[in-house]
Amino acid sequence: MGQSPRDLDPTVSLLHFFGAEVRRRRCLLGLSQAALGRMLFQHRDLVRKIEAAERMPTKEFVERCDEVLDAHGALLGMWPMLERERSLRSANDAMVYRSEAADRSVLDWLLFEPRHLRPAATTSGSALPGVHALAQLRQRDHAEGGGATYSDVINLLDTDDTDLVGGALELAGYQAVDLGADGVAQLHYLRALDLAVASGQRLYGGYLIAVSLGHLALHCGDAQQAARLATAALRGSASLASPGVSAAFRLVLARAHARRGDKAACCTALLQADADLARRDPADEPAWISYFGEAEVADEKAHCFFDLGWYEPAQREATRAVALLNPCRVRRLGIDTALLASALARAGDLEQACVQARHAVDLAVRTASFRAAHRVAMMLAELHRHRDLPAVHEVAEYAFARSADLSPAAYATVHRPSSTAR
């Protein structure tokens, strides 16, 4: 007797989504696992394991599956995300994200007590062109994604201005995350943290720990590390942090608690963040936190509520974030719109979920962004169980038809760091 197919939840991971999509397309063609295996020149047991998310496919398997199952790029478009997932599970990949890699730098930051903490950084006239260039690259990054600007940011690291280098490293780390190169992102962030410690910028160091490294840990599925980082930053900067900075730190902590399913701790952190925000005076906040406004707060809350399974509040906050975002923030609009579609799907409002899903795809394809593509893929995973409905089938095929635009070749440009990476 043949084995009964293992039930799959496509929302667990891209590997589960890939397996579910291979199974769906195989069944539509009336193929058995053995028949598909013969067409792929593989054993049927390998097909079974991949469909059951028990085995990571190779690129060759994905390419051949895409061809044999007439997927027209839909399966191949998942490969960059599958490759990243493989790296996160690998113990032998030197360039993958590792939570313990931050321990030394975070401890140095906690223990370092300079006699005089540096005031807000000032920039000499000779460095202003670099500062303006960095600001312009940040704007382009929001609109076009990391793949469009990463190499230009790396070029700014070749300077003696430590403030400019620190800012460029933080942006380079953010962009490396955006391109699916988590280990490279971690190296950039840690070098920026080391510079902040060396130059006495303690509060900015706390920001790099809680917000930059904390969000990276969340992106890599390490909620426990994200909670530790945010907690360390809050305690290590308690006497220095402005209300806005404290709120940003607490929202990362809330995200970590939500990802771990700790509703009480998440709600406590959110209430504390709201109390901080009520005391905030933008004029007294550091320049590097000036971007942090109501749209960012709504985004963080929407992710918290979605992870906790509170889909109506998640819809409300995601809608609010989208409404408040500047239209030039194309990547963030795509990510939050995809989150809104996912929340609508979970709540059973499939008609509106499909409307928002198509909009999310249209936004995501305008950017060279792994994060946007990943969020769209997970949105499609939410809709996968409803593929028998015409509206869902239509939007899924629309997204798959544009899968090549969601997988820019720029992802590969940061998988091996340059000598400036650390």
Q: pLDDT tens for residues 66-98?
A: 999 999 888 998 998 998 888 887 755 656 889
Nearest-angstrom CA–CA distance, 379 and 383: 7
Helix pair 33-40, 44-51: axis angle to 10 deg: 110
Helix pair 330-347, 350-364: axis angle to 10 deg: 160
Hey, where are the domains in the chain?
A: 14-89, 98-237
Q: pLDDT tens for residues 272-308?
A: 999 999 999 999 999 999 999 999 999 999 999 999 9
- The answer as to CATH 1.25.40 being correct for domain 98-237 is yes
Nearest-angstrom CA–CA distance, 348 and 198: 52
What is the per-residue pLDDT for 341? Answer: 98
Nearest-angstrom CA–CA distance, 50 and 62: 10
What is the per-residue pLDDT for 221? Answer: 93
Nearest-angstrom CA–CA distance, 238 and 235: 5
CATH fold, domain 14-89, is 434 Repressor (Amino-terminal Domain) (1.10.260)
- Altogether, the residues listed in the chain come to a count of 422
Nearest-angstrom CA–CA distance, 2 and 18: 22
Q: What percent of the chain has pLDDT above 70?
A: 89
pTM of the model: 0.90
Burial degree of 93 (CB within 10 A; 0-12, 13-18, 19+): middle
Q: pLDDT tens for residues 301-345?
A: 999 999 999 999 999 999 999 999 999 999 999 999 999 999 999
Q: Which amino acid is it at 353? A: A
Q: pLDDT tens for residues 141-179?
A: 999 999 889 999 999 888 888 888 999 999 999 999 999
pLDDT value at 411 more than 70: no
Among 60-74, 114-128, 231-245, which is the least confidently predicted range? 114-128
